[in-house]
Structure 1
Amino acid sequence: MSIAFLVTTLIVVATPGTGTVYTLAAGLSRGRRASVVAAFGCTLGIVPHLVATITGAAALLHTSAVAFQTLKYLGVAYLLYMAWATLRDKDALVVDDDQAPRPASRVVLTGVLINILNPKLTMFFLAFLPQFVTPGQPGSVLRMLELSAVFMLATFVVFAGYGVLAASVRGQVTSRPRVMTWMRRVFAGSFVTLGAKLAFSAR
């Protein structure tokens, strides 16, 4: 495992994005457990991109403008939906120990969808992983799986860390109504900004 791969992976994973925003929101609204579950969902969302890269399907996204644009705008639409849902749900960031916990399956599914509908992640795997794998050599697929596993582990650890950190201050933050109003706006604005960035991105 090269240092260059590890450093690049940590930079990519730690850079704030849709998964980070979602995990932070989960930590603030539901606590440590929800943030870890959200991080797990975002990590699972990497698997389809990995499979697409290994099977060569990612090459279709790279060469087909229609395929890329379709997935891109599905992702944009979902991010805008997340922004709308965050502003609409006044209880989204409320600390209430008596409220029914959000099903883990729903938290995971949202995290998975956030990363599945991100064609830039497939582009990252297509452009990044091959640099650390010798093409045509025996075990190249296994090597790619190994590197991908490290990337996914880093994603889970970093995202969970973000979420747990947010959960540790949720009591102080969510007990202030005005702060919560601005937090909802910040998260919604973050989703809109990320959606706009994705919408105007080129391959």
Structure 2
Amino acid sequence: MFGIHDLALFVVSGLLLNIMPGPDSLLIMTRSATQGWRAGSAAALGIGTGTFVHIVAAALGLSAILATSAAAFTVVKLAGAAYILYLAVGMLLSKRGDGVEKPLTVTPLPLRRIYAQGILTNVLNPKVALFFLAFVPQFIDANAPHKAAAFLILGAIFNINGMLWCHALALFTAQARARLKLNPAVTQWLNRATGGLFVWLGVKLALAKPH
């Protein structure tokens, strides 16, 4: 249907790609570990929204601009790197809670703000756009009459699978946090360690090249 082929291979490949660690996974785990599964779920939903933006953009051909325009790629990647570094600074400067009554390491962020962080972390990463342009077309026949529709269908399948994984990761991290009963000092260290990883990811993105 719609010229889609090897759907089972696409689903399995997509799941394996979603499991690979990156800034999205780190954001979900950090929010789940510090504020519980609802916060991790909000981050996951934001990431899913950002992925949907990339899918629609790629289906409409907008992401091709990033693949062919060095200037456009540079602008987006620097904006993404700056935002990831902004998140990293917030984690590195996080303060310890007041004790047992407040086990969180940082002042809890509103869920809508965490959701927005998820969107921006994903949307401002041009590598995601280039990934969809390179990966999804491999499962669409060259002579398919409705390539854009096929692209959207495959993108939706990829995103649904990704959301299942992201929410499972949020739940697992939150449950691990509850079982380990991390004290404020340990969770503060977790925030700062994640902040350090975000610094590395931000610098890596800033130095990324289109190909």
Same fold (TM over 0.5): yes
Letter in structure 2 aligned against 1:22 = L
Name the CA distance, whole Å, in 1 between partners of 2:179 and 2:192: 18
Amino acid at match of 1:47: F
Can you give the 5+ residue segments of structure 1 that lack an aligned partner in the other structure? none
Q: Which amino acid aligns with 1:31?
A: G
- For 1:78, the equivalent position in structure 2 comes to 83
Task: Choose the corresponding residue for 2:133, options 118, 126, 130.
Answer: 126
Q: In the TM superposition, what is the alpha-carbon distance from 1:5 to its structure 2 partner? A: 1.1
Q: Give the Cα–Cα distance (whole angstroms) in 2 for the partners of residues 55 and 137 of structure 1.
A: 16
Q: Cα gap change, 1:100/1:85 in structure 2, threshold over 3 Å: closer, same or farther?
A: closer
Q: Deviations over 1:158-196 (max 9, x none)?
A: 111111111012235563244223212211111112112
Determine if contact 2:31/2:39 at 8 Å carries over to the other structure.
yes
Partner of 2:29: 24
User: Percent same amino acid among aligned pairs?
Assistant: 34
CA contact (8 A) 1:45 1:115 kept: yes
TM-score (norm 1): 0.90
The equivalent of 1:104 in structure 2 is: 111
Deviation at 1:135, TM superposition (A): 3.6
How many residues in Structure 1 have an aligned counterpart in Structure 2?
Answer: 202
From 55, 75, 95, the counterpart of 1:50: 55
Give the 3-state SS of the residue equivalent to 1:45 in structure 2: helix
Cα deviations across residues 129-171 of structure 1 (Å, max 9, x unaligned)? 1111124422322211111111111111111111111101223
Gaps of 5+ in 2: 1-5
User: 2:96, 2:45 → 1: CA distance?
Assistant: 23
* Distance change >3 Å, CA 173–CA 181, structure 1 → 2: farther
- 2:158 is aligned with 1:151: yes
3-state SS of 2:109 partner: coil
Q: Say yes or no: does 1:180 pair with 2:165.
A: no
Pairwise CA RMSD: 2.3
Q: Contact (CA 8 Å) 2:103, 2:183: kept in 1 or not?
A: no
Letter in 2 for 1:109: A
CA distance in 1, matches of 2:58, 2:116: 22
Contact 2:37 2:171 in 1 (8 A): yes
Q: Is the 8 A contact 1:83 1:189 kept in 2?
A: yes
The corresponding residue for 1:138 is 145
The structure-2 alpha-carbon separation of the partners of 1:91 and 1:134, relative to structure 1 and needing over 3 Å to count, comes to: farther
Aligned-partner Cα distance in 2 for 1:107–1:182 = 20
Match of 2:199 among 171, 189, 192: 192
Could you say which residue in structure 1 is the equivalent of 2:3?
none
Distance 1:173 1:124 in 2: 37
Residues 202/101 of structure 1: CA separation in 2 closer, same or farther (3 Å cut): closer
Which one is further off, 167-176 or 189-198? 167-176
Contact 2:103 2:184 in 1 (8 A): no
For 2:82 and 2:125, how far apart are their aligned partners in 1?
Answer: 11
Please give the alpha-carbon distance, in whole angstroms, between the structure 1 residues aligned to 2:58 and 2:113. 27
